[in-house]
A and B are shown apart, each in its own frame.
Chain A
């Protein structure tokens, strides 16, 4: 991130994850620019929780995310397409268990 040493180069990009009031896990909601981690958190508060959505925020430098690429699509994901036995479809799920 050597380009951040120059203030005119602009602030680095962060990815924002919010856990909603009724969400079990943090969900990616978008991205923002900030000069450092602390500022990223306050920006996330201002940009993504204005409508009372969240109870917890994670921010992470976009550059710190390692993502799979399109080229890896088949070797990564295709092998699971025909393995029906990996899906727990043979259980009866009680009506009063949410989020399944």
Chain B
């Protein structure tokens, strides 16, 4: 890092910010991840499939973000509450871009709100692991470890290989975020697994409870050219490595039949969406 412009004090001093120097202390240099990216669907890309893939990945992020937001006022420490909310907001940002892309690609012109607020549970294609209730803190961080490791493996491939430039740009932005999410989750799984007798017991229970839901991460049709099955070795390798550092064993389990990608749901998504969508549905034309 020592040779980057940001790290060179004199270069960074000379750097021009066109957004009002008086307020630079509050943060500057925000970037639009889609700046300069061509938004027309390229020839040879199946726009309907692209839209479905983007919407499904957005569903994972939206549902995951909502579960993380539920930790607000309930997290074990104020600092963890902010950390979990930050991760949720990262995912929400990914969902917004992906829903918008889905609405562009399927030709409907639907905006992000139409996808997030005005579809019922049976239209969602998110992974069932994302919608499970938060449980205890151990369950939430083990789930986050699985989901962020999986999403990072997928986005890394999409960032470099997705035929759609918008999806590739969203994935590239997501990789930096997901790398931190995975690190955060891994830190906590090690801390809890290698912590007290009670924290170890809870983490073992979380791994066992989640194991049947990990099957659908690695099944189904390719997502923009990336076959979920091809992610299995990398993702389980990461989780197994974290478990080893935590003194935990990664349990094997019979996968739950069906897949969230095909519309199979648990009973937990509908209540989650009812809360998430209540304000938008009560005031359909409402704006800030």
**Which residues of A are in contact with B by a Cβ distance under 8 Å?**
7, 11, 20-22, 24, 32-35, 38-39, 42-43, 45-47, 50-53, 55-56, 98-99
A-B contacts besides A42-B187, A43-B83, 6 pairs, CB < 8 Å: A21-B6, A42-B183, A43-B79, A52-B27, A52-B29, A55-B12
Enumerate chain A residues within 8 angstroms of B83, measured Cβ to Cβ. 42-43, 46
In the complex, the answer to whether B26 meets A42 with C-beta atoms within 8 Å is: no
A99 to B13, CA, bound (A): 9
Interface residues of B in 157-204 (CB under 8 A from A): 180, 183-184, 187, 191, 196
Bound together, the chains give a CA A7 to CA B196 distance in angstroms of 9
Determine the chain A residues whose CB is within 8 A of the CB of B30 once the complex forms.
52
Cβ contacts A to B, 28 pairs, < 8 Å:
A7-B196, A11-B77, A20-B24, A21-B6, A21-B12, A21-B28, A22-B24, A24-B9, A24-B13, A32-B79, A33-B77, A33-B79, A39-B187, A39-B191, A42-B83, A42-B183, A42-B187, A46-B79, A46-B82, A46-B83, A46-B86, A50-B86, A52-B27, A52-B28, A52-B29, A53-B25, A55-B12, A56-B7
Enumerate chain B interface residues (CB-CB to A < 8 A): 6-7, 9, 12-13, 15, 17, 24-30, 77-79, 82-83, 86, 180, 183-184, 187, 191, 196
Contact between chains at A21 and B79 (CB < 8 Å): no
A3 to chain B, nearest CB (A): 16
Q: Which residues of A contact B184 (CB under 8 A)?
A: 42
CB <8 Å contact, B187 and A38: yes
Could you tell me the distance in whole angstroms from the C-beta of A15 to the nearest C-beta in chain B? 14
A48 smallest CB distance to B (angstroms):
10
Contacts of A7 in B (CB 8 A): 196
Assess A47 versus B24: contact at CB under 8 Å? Given A7-B196, A21-B12, A24-B9: no
Contacts of A24 in B (CB 8 A): 9, 13
Bound together, the chains give a CA A52 to CA B27 distance in angstroms of 5
